[in-house]
Amino acid sequence: MKLGYTALTLLPLVGLAIAQDSYIDPDNGIQFWGTTDPVHGVTYGYTLPPLNAGYDEFIGEIVAPIEAKWVGASPAGGMLNNLLLVAWPNDGNVVFSARIARVLEGPKITSLPWTKVNASHWKWVYRCQNCITWEGANGPVSLPIDGFGASAWAYSNVAVTTPSDPASAFGQHTDFGFYGLDWSSAHVSKSQYDAWAAGETGGEPEPTPTTPVPTDPPTPTPTVAPTPYDYIVVGAGPAGLVTADRLSEAGKKVLLVERGGPSLGSTGGTYQPAWLQGTNVQTMFQDNNPFWWCKDINVFAGCILGGGTAINGGLYWYPPDSDFAPANGWPESWKNHQTHTNKLKQRIPSTDRPSTDGKAVVERLLRPIGYRDAVINDYPNFKEKVFGYSAFSFIDGKRAGPISTYYKTAVARPNLFYSPNTVVQHVVRNGSKITGVQTDNPYIGPGGFVPLTEKGRVILSSGSFGSARLLFKSGIGPKDMLDIVKGHATAGPNLPEETDWIDLPVGENVSDNPSINLVFTHPEIDAYENWAQVWSSPRQDDAAQYVKDRSGVFAHSSPRLNFWRSIEGSDKKVRWMQGTARPGAASVETEFPYNKTAIFTITTYLSTGITSRGRIGIDAALTGRALKNPWFVDPVDKETLVKGINELLSSVRFVEGLKLITPDNTTTLQNYVDSYPTGNLNSNHWVGSNSILKVVDENTKVYKTDNLFVVDASIIPSMPMGNPQGTIMATAEQAVAKILALSGGP
């Protein structure tokens, strides 16, 4: 029996950076737990009173260079519905306030005596009372003070509007990030905390609780020559799993390297809440331990077997012909994709397990403006004013996708070796020829080096950010990115000589769907806000039903219905709008009363035909991040999406009881979209950083190399019609067929 994750909603976070150990502030002797951002040099720290002592507060600090015009700290992580503490220097003082997408009433913040500003830095040390629990848009939100969490920071080099006013408006941050924090270790004794909170210095810091961690094993001395492989596939996400399975099926000797660990229960995953004990179903959603996030990419990414397919919303669309059309950047040789897409469909058929909750309401919204009902994956080329149940790659009420299919057959073959928890540092090359990969795992090669056979090949399948970064660290990409690697203490010495650098537009031509959320209420909707407590206290009947026969609300993800239509922009170009409807809401912006139990969200996206492009790259810490955001760079993209949303909202009057609450009637749709936070436009469907015919050729081989290939979302040159999971795997099916047919290989 195949078991896997329940399909629960995702945490509203987009990245993670490594947390540092505790430190002691020399000005006051306070022991803080937190991190120092290596790019901007800002330190964020927290210390808490004892657990179960009745406190609702903590002491925190921000230490920033004077160039930081304002800095924000979000101890609970996401910027939506979460406490955000913002501060900035002004005339020798530090000005501060507590916010939650607005100035937040409730927290009492006191600057402690060590707050100061000098010529080079400013420091804010503060006591934040009424700050462990606060009222979010949809109910109370709390810090995970007895466990692990993900905190966030925001940084701007642009000053606030009115620096003397704590309630001043300010623009979108110029940078942001997340980091893991073990809140359970960040507590001190009552007497020590009370002294620090009263402004007293010194004291004896508490010893940091520690969990024994095994020391790194000694590097073994190989007694035999290292094992060479015909193919080394880097990354076990959707593309890597398809690629490794087809290569091993063809009899090639394959090494599949994945930086994360197991995911589904069938792969050894055992992480689960108490109500799932007795099953081997694993779930990682709505818990405070984000062990499955990539820690060095500043957007949401899964470093775990299955990659994004193990943690995303699960929407699975068969690609239409337009996804591989020359008009959308693909070579002519790719347009006849159906043979390869059919192979995908045979391995992973889609299911649109219907849920009546909400479909009737949205259907009544769409029919008056000409939409028709369909089983969407039965007609992948039919997307003009069509709606239908959301489709998933789940099997028997459990997340499955490529993990329960391609991975299952691949690892059963003796000619494939799977190495989890192994990080590939860079590709090792001699000029244009790749000789192997350098990893951090000494057990798969001497010093972590794994060689290729004489005609062997390396295939990067680490995603739009991961594969681009590996190319940078291997001396392939724009000079400004390679210069950053060159200056890095550990990665720099491993770069090829500068004369062997390969100048390609890695990281350019990046697309992502801009998305706008519309929040409604309707008396027929069950918002199911219990998603937020699903880890610790789900509805008992729902939990029992799922444990019994893998059915009910936990047997699918939150989307219920999807729809599409084409829209011609003022530039005469056709773009496509997608809509996804789901119960609940990430945030609500209204001052009017509303029924919190009856809210639902329609997220509108712009997809195929989008003309805006951005750029991704790395920073001084080699963290993958967006260097130029890809949303609404071309104003016609925004104009077109607003046009589609206006058409949708024109039908609200036809649905009795339907009420739009975000945006509400205090603003216009245009103003709502114009003021939409840039980061919230992110759909996390990044494609194009290693675009085909720009970075790789029509066989997916990296230009100016002999045997280096890329097969993942990064080679897709333009936005697919729908959520890209299906298109990524169909791309891999066609790519691996071309690679195997290419002369000169093993």
Residue 740: count other Cβ atoms within 10 Å of its Cβ: 15
- How many CA atoms, within 13 angstroms, populate the side-chain half-sphere of residue 274? 5
DSSP codes joined into one string, 424-452: EEEEEEETTEEEEEEES-TTSSGGGEEEE
Q: Tell me if residue 522 is catalytic.
A: no
**Ramachandran area for residue 724 (φ above 0: left; ψ -120 to 50: alpha; else beta):** alpha
Q: 495-533 burial string, b = 16+ CB within 10 Å, else e?
A: bbeeeebbebebbbbbbbbbbbbbbbbbeebebbeebbe
Provide DSSP, 501-550: -B---TT-SBB--BEEEEEEE-TT----GGGGGTTT---HHHHHHHHHHS
Residue found under tokens 């309707």: 522
Cα 512 vs. chain centroid, distance in angstroms? 12
Q: What are phi and psi of 579, to 5 degrees?
A: -125, 140
What is the DSSP-derived secondary structure letter of residue 371?
-
Element (DSSP H or E) covering residue 416: strand 416-419
Rounded to whole angstroms, how far apart are CA atoms 128 and 56? 9
DSSP state of 222: -
Three-state helix/strand/coil letters over 346-375: HHCCCECCCCCCCHHHHHHHHHHHCCEECC
Q: How far apart are CA 572 and CA 574, in angstroms?
A: 7
What are the structure tokens assigned to 118, written together? 């000098």
* DSSP element (H, E) containing 343: helix 338-347
User: Phi and psi (nearest 5°) for 117?
Assistant: -135, 130
CA distance 669 to 672: 5
DSSP 8-state code for residue 667: S
Q: Which two tokens stand for residue 376?
A: 């969407």
3-state secondary structure of 16: strand
d(CA 517, CA 588): 10
Identify which of 90, 149, 420, 29 has the alpha carbon closest to the alpha carbon of residue 261.
420
Spatial CA neighbour of 319 closest among 273, 350, 362: 350
- Closest by CA to 352, choosing from 330, 382, 334, 378, is 378
Token pair 């009947």: residue: 541
Closest by Cα among 58, 83, 65 to 73: 83
Instruction: Give, for 318, the enclosing helix (H) or strand (E).
Output: none
Which of the residues 40, 173, 556, 685 is marked catalytic?
685
Judge whether 694 and 509 are in contact, CB under 8 Å. Answer: yes
Q: What is the dihedral of CA 617, 620, 625, 629, to 10 degrees?
A: -70
d(CA 381, CA 497): 48
> Distance between CA atoms of 79 and 100, rounded to whole angstroms?
8
Mind telling me the catalytic residues? 685
